[in-house]
Amino acid sequence: MASKERVSILIDAGNFYHLALKKLGVQEAGFDFEGFAKFLANGRIIVDMGKRFYVGTVREKEGDPRSKEAMAKQTSLFTILKRDKWEIKTSKLKTRLEEITIDSRVVDYQRIRKAGIDKIRFERLREKGIDVKLATDLIVGAVDNQYDTAIVVSSDSDLVPAIDWVRIRKKKKVEYIGFSIPDENNPKNSTNPMLSLVKKTDVKRILIKSDVQQFIRPPLLDKKQ
Any bridge partners for residue 9, and if so which? 51, 151
Residue 177 in contact with residue 11, Cβ under 8 Å? no
Asked if residue 57 belongs to a domain, the reply is: yes
Is the pLDDT assigned to residue 126 strictly greater than 60? no
Domain assignment present for 19? yes
Sheet containing strand 149-153, edge to edge, reads: 119-127, 87-101, 45-57, 6-12, 149-153, 173-180, 203-208
Residue 16's nearest CA partner among 169, 194, 217 is 194
Average pLDDT, the chain: 87
Is 196 domain-assigned?
Answer: yes
Asked if residue 116 is part of any domain, the answer here is no
What's the domain range around 62?
6-94+127-213
pLDDT, tens digit (0-9, with 9 covering 90-100), for 51-103: 999 998 877 666 677 778 888 889 999 999 999 999 999 986 555 555 677 78
Please give the helix or strand (H or E) that residue 81 lies within, else none. Answer: helix 65-83
Average pLDDT of the segment spanning 164-174: 97
Is 199 a residue whose pLDDT tops 60?
yes
**Per-residue pLDDT, 107:** 67
Q: What is the pLDDT of residue 122?
A: 47
> Would you say the pTM of this structure is higher than 0.85?
no
- pLDDT, tens digit, for every residue of 2-38? 679 999 999 999 999 999 999 999 989 899 999 999 9
CATH code of the domain covering residue 76 = 3.40.50.1010
Segment 121-142 mean pLDDT: 79
Residue 77 lies in a domain: yes
Chain center to CA of 216:
15
CA distance 98 to 120: 8
Q: What is the pLDDT of residue 68?
A: 81
Of 160, 170, 133, 151, the C-alpha closest to 54 is 133
pLDDT on residue 222: 42
pLDDT at 179 over 90: yes
Q: Is residue 220 part of a domain?
A: no
Classify residue 154: in a domain, yes or no: yes
Q: For residue 221, what pLDDT band results from cuts at 50, 70 and 90? A: very low
Closest by Cα among 37, 32, 26, 75 to 55: 75
Instruction: Please give the tally of structural domains in the chain.
Output: 1
Q: Does 106 reside within a domain? A: no
